Structure 1
Amino acid sequence: MNHDRSIATQIVALIQSEGLPVGAHLPAQMLADKLRVSRSPVNEALALLHEKGVLTREKNRGFFLARPVAAPAAELASRLGLAEPDVATAAYFQIAEDLLQGTLDTQVSEQLLKARYGLTTTQLNTVLKRIAQEGWAERKPGYGWEFSSMLTTPDSLLQSYRLRLALEPAALLEPGYRLEPRTLQRLRAAEFHLLNGGIETDTADQLHDRGVRFHESLVEASGNPFFVDTIRRVNRVRRLLSYRSMRDRERYPEHAKQHLHILDLLERERNEEASLAMREHLEHTLTALAQISRLLEP
């Protein structure tokens, strides 16, 4: 249920940010595209908002806005009892921050985490499950959790980029490289979304995932499973530090334009030029990260 609540909260925020009037139609596919999730959780979230009286449902026509969404989205979500996952999300970012600041030990008990971040057992499980899936903590045999030290230094972010600098331009030169037109279209739409305001409005999660999807999709098109496995591993590891670097979003418009340029070259099957452009793009990011390493310092 947590996931549906989180998406319901995002739908409320979208209704508010777009200033939708009472009676506005909310097609599931449109919401799924905007939130970049599949239709199934969107349908469940719409049903939940219908239950809470925010939407009405018309047979064969779908969901419509039943009342004005005037309060700040977070406040309304809280009043409707939709805000629980935000507690888990806030704790997730706080744990990451505390680790990077060096104020949280790398070995901790669940009891300590619950007390320190004011979490219920369910909320703590949600947070730890996410952290474990991302690969920066694991359960210790018998007792407690251990966080990876690989993720907590600015150097490790720069090292992850140097690995990508070796790998990603090479992936674009693999024999039989093929980027499906549908994938190309999806990636291009994501970049235009950013340039049309998403840079300011997307969460750190959404920004990170958009970048990961772009780079992983291009490497997947190489058809080389070793490249694909490596890029996925390095992306899991760098998530924590890349959130930290997102406090500075000024470089994102330039990033989006570079991504679009690479897509244009791949569409025209100019892979050697695309490979060079990818190298320049990653070098540009490495330079920017070195300059903003003050953000990564405790």
Structure 2
Amino acid sequence: MLNVDKPIAAKIVELIGTEGLAEGAHLPAQWLADRLRVSRSPVNEALGLLHEQGIVRREPNRGYFLAQPARATAPELAGALAQEDALAGIYFRIAEDRLAGHLPNEFNESQLRRLYGLTAAQAQSLLTRMAHEGWVEKKPGYGWAFSPMLTTAESLLQSYRLRLALEPAALLEPGYRIDPLVLQRCRAAEMHLLKGGIETDTADQLHERGVRFHEAIVEGSGNPFFIDAIRRVNRVRRLLSYRAMKDRKRYKQHCRQHLEVLDLLEQQRNEEASAMLREHLQSTLRNFARLTDILRDKP
């Protein structure tokens, strides 16, 4: 049985072993997501990590394939995950330093390497992640700049106002349908948190769980404009979301509200689900005074 607390990359390798997959076996992202009961986004990220370590190979327009037998992957995977953990710690240091005002608006890769003791490859990996998440931008010619978006408590409030306008409406789209397997995965993630994950999961894991829930239910609308807008705001609000996670008391309430939305969607009571989702988002706004205090704290 798979251990739900393991990183996705480790669970993929474990699944490869339990399935007895041979070298060259195709690893469809949707199949992996269904077996691991997660969305495709973290699976694709994990496959990218395994590709970088040579454990799987990526073929254009075909996907990922097992590059070596499962028995040979353990040492490579251990090294990959150790490197990932080290970089995650530095990532959060950079995020905290930026939010605390310790970093300039513009910088170059050499400065980043010197400040945080990074190799060129590590600096590039971190800059790629930060750019993908929307809080740094490559300057024309040379250097980098921090994005002015979502670095204040007010900008996080604005992102919730946008979500409040869009997400409940997405549940009312004609032909709305959410796959039963998606409902099952979302429900399992909420139950994991209620059984202790709130206290033990990392900020990354908590944020991804929330993102997967909200994007999954919006994707049920089938409306690409809703879907694209929510994905964009989720990318750029990540930085402030991490700071808000210093206070995790509210997460039990959030989990219960998520579960109620899922139950209503399963019963096709979309108007009630939309109203519940609106109340869920509004509850965050009502507690925003407390959140802004957390976001203004110095690390």
Tell me which interval the TM-score lies in, with the shorter structure as reference length. Answer: 0.7 to 0.9
2:36 is matched with which residue: 11, 33, 37? Answer: 33
Q: Return the offset for 1:35.
A: 8.4
* TM-score normalised by structure 2 residue count: 0.76
Note closer, same or farther for the CA distance 1:166–1:123 as it changes in structure 2 (3 Å cut): same
Does the 8 Å CA contact 2:38/2:185 hold for their aligned counterparts? no
Q: Write the distance in 2 (CA, Å) between the matches of 1:288 and 1:139.
A: 35
1:99-146 C-alpha deviation (Å, 9 max, x unpaired): 111110110011111000110001101100001111111111111101
Q: How many Å separate the matches in 2 of 1:8 and 1:271?
A: 32
Name the counterpart of 2:243: 244
Task: Check whether the contact 1:8–1:49 (CA below 8 A) recurs between aligned residues.
Answer: no
The 1:233/1:50 distance shift into structure 2, 3 A limit, reads closer
Q: Percent identity?
A: 57
Residue 8 of structure 1 contacts residue 48 of structure 1 at CA under 8 Å; is this kept in 2?
no
Structure 1 residue 186: Cα displacement: 1.0
1:22-50 deviation per Cα after TM superposition (whole angstroms, max 9, x unaligned): xxxx85789x7388754965995974664
Confirm or deny that 1:204 pairs with 2:207: no
Is the CA contact (8 Å cut-off) linking 2:133 and 2:235 kept in structure 1?
Answer: yes
Q: What SS does the corresponding residue of 1:292 show, helix, strand or coil? A: helix
- 1:220 counterpart residue number: 219
Secondary structure of the residue aligned to 1:262 is helix
- Larger deviation, residues 282-291 vs 226-235: 282-291
Question: For the structure 1 residues 216 and 171, does the alpha-carbon distance in structure 2 shift closer, same or farther, using more than 3 Å as the test?
Answer: same
The aligned runs of 1:43-192 (5 Å cut-off) are 44=55, 47=71, 50-51=74-75, 83-192=82-191
Q: Aligned in 2, Cα 1:82/1:225: closer, same or farther, shift over 3 Å?
A: closer
Secondary structure of 2:145's partner? strand
Once superposed, what is the RMSD of the aligned Cα atoms? Answer: 2.9
- For residue 189 of structure 2, give the secondary structure of its aligned residue in structure 1: helix
CA offset digits 1:180-233 (Å, max 9, x no partner): 111111111111111111111211111101100100111111111111111011
How many pairs were matched up?
254
Equivalent in the alignment of 2:60: none
**Structure-2 separation of matches of 1:250 and 1:139:** 37
CA shift in 2, pair 1:35/1:99, >3 Å: same
Larger CA Rg, structure 1 vs 2? 1
CA 8–291 in structure 1, closer or farther in 2 if over 3 Å, else same: closer
Q: Hey, what does 1:14 align to over in structure 2?
A: none
